[in-house]
């Protein structure tokens, strides 16, 4: 799906006016050549700085996979922050249902940047997908959860029940972790693969007993009488933290570091808006997801956001995230979800803190 425009809340114009001018910092590289999809890049000598930024060194087109998750990525999209930072570059926003689909698109060479959960990214690294983690969109807290019919008492009662989740997603990972922690053999549960919108439809038709899924469909199921048994925040306390991550193909990251820095700067500005102007951020996300600002505010509140200056620290891109991805790979192998786990250094090498460091500078 190409980038489509929805009417923007009028009040955000003043709030973001100064911010947009900051997004293009670090975009003055003199790189030139071909974009990943074969389009010629803008040339450094002839590039023209207009509005908020200078697109020197950027490709003619950037293809971005996004998901309907109430985080800063939607603010960057809805407010066209990257378009303003790179005015001579076409930004092609493509909607995806899950991280597994994003992995497939990276392998096919169909996208340059994308959002995927930490479990599918861990799988991707294990399968040597040529990409790298360059950003943490959010730490998944209560935004993902196991929600079931009200007559199910606990996780131990899920044997013989039908539970839906998108396979190869963070939700799938968390479902297996929850079952494992409760001593329930996953083979005794009818776990079916379904995308978030399909899960909500199946719930409404009574075809499933529950689901491990994320907002906004999680909130819809809860509103329709679903009962939460455990959240990803609960599992994080048990050592199974999950994230929504920004990934870049190795080819794109190597060819266009300045454009990647501009993208990270835009993402950091979006998180700043969430923290400093939460009502404005909620209006923007609500417009993108076609929900009310109140619903958007509640869903944003279920996620944990980390600014660029903190992302580069040891807890996140500076080391902790690689440890998490390696541990997720080990767990996925134990559960029979992947065949091999690479050496821990492979997961360390797949994390690139440079864009976040540039954004926080």
**The pLDDT value given to residue 42:** 34
**The pLDDT value given to residue 57:** 81
* Whether pLDDT at 18 is above 60: no
Mean pLDDT calculated for residue range 319-335: 96
Q: Which of 18-32, 60-74, 252-266, 338-352 has the lowest mean pLDDT?
A: 18-32
* Whether pLDDT at 13 is above 70: no
* Whether pLDDT at 356 is above 90: yes
Whether cis (ω within 30° of 0) applies to the bond prior to 216 is yes
**The pLDDT value given to residue 23:** 38
Q: How many CB atoms lie within 10 A of CB 206?
A: 8
Q: Are 355 and 319 in contact (CB under 8 A)?
A: no
**The pLDDT value given to residue 361:** 82
* Whether pLDDT at 277 is above 80: yes
Residue entry with tokens 């939700």:
171
Backbone φ, ψ for residue 113 (5° rounding): -130, 150
**The pLDDT value given to residue 295:** 97
Q: Tell me the pLDDT of the chain averaged across its residues.
A: 88
CA 126 vs CA 157, 332, 335, 346: distances in Å: 33, 10, 14, 8
Contacting residues for 222 by C-beta, under 8 A, at least 6 apart: 147, 228
Mean pLDDT calculated for residue range 351-357: 98
pTM score: 0.84
**Going from the N-terminus, what domains does the chain have, and what CATH number goes with each?**
12-139+244-360 (3.40.190.10), 144-237 (3.40.190.10)
CA distance 93 to 87: 15
* Whether pLDDT at 4 is above 50: no
Residue 50's Cβ-count burial label (10 Å; 0-12, 13-18, 19+) is exposed
């Amino acid at each position: 799906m190409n980038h489509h425009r929805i009417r923007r809340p009028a009040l955000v114009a003043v709030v973001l006016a100064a911010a947009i001018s900051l997004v293009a910092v670090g975009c003055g590289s003199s790189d030139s050549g071909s974009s990943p999809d074969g389009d010629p890049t803008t040339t450094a000598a002839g590039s023209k700085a207009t509005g908020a930024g200078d697109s020197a060194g950027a490709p003619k087109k950037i293809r971005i996979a996004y998901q309907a998750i109430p985080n800063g990525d939607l603010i960057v999209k809805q407010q066209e922050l990257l378009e303003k930072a790179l005015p001579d570059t076409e930004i092609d926003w493509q909607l995806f249902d899950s991280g597994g689909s994003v992995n497939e698109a990276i392998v096919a060479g169909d996208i340059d940047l994308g959002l995927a959960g930490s479990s599918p990214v861990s799988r991707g690294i294990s399968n040597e997908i040529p990409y790298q983690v360059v950003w943490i969109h959010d730490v998944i807290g209560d935004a993902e959860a196991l929600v079931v019919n009200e007559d199910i008492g606990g996780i131990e009662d899920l044997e013989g029940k039908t539970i839906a989740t998108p396979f190869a997603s963070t939700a799938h990972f968390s479902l297996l972790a929850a079952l494992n922690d409760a001593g329930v053999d996953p083979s005794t549960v009818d776990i079916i693969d379904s995308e978030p919108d399909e899960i909500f439809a199946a719930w409404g038709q009574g075809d499933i007993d529950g689901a491990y899924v994320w907002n906004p469909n999680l909130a819809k199921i809860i509103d329709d009488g679903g009962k939460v048994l455990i959240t990803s925040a609960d599992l994080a306390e048990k050592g199974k933290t999950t994230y929504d991550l920004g990934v870049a193909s190795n080819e794109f990251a190597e060819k266009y570091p300045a454009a990647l820095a501009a993208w990270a700067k835009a993402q950091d500005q979006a998180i700043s808006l969430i923290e400093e102007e939460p009502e404005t951020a909620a209006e923007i996300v609500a417009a993108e997801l076609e929900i009310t600002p109140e619903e958007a505010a509640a869903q944003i509140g279920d996620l944990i956001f980390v600014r660029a200056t903190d992302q580069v620290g040891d807890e996140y891109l500076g080391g902790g995230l690689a440890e998490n991805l390696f541990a997720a790979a080990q767990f996925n192998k134990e559960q029979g979800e992947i065949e091999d786990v690479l050496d821990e250094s492979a997961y360390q090498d797949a994390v690139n803190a440079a864009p976040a460091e540039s954004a926080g500078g």
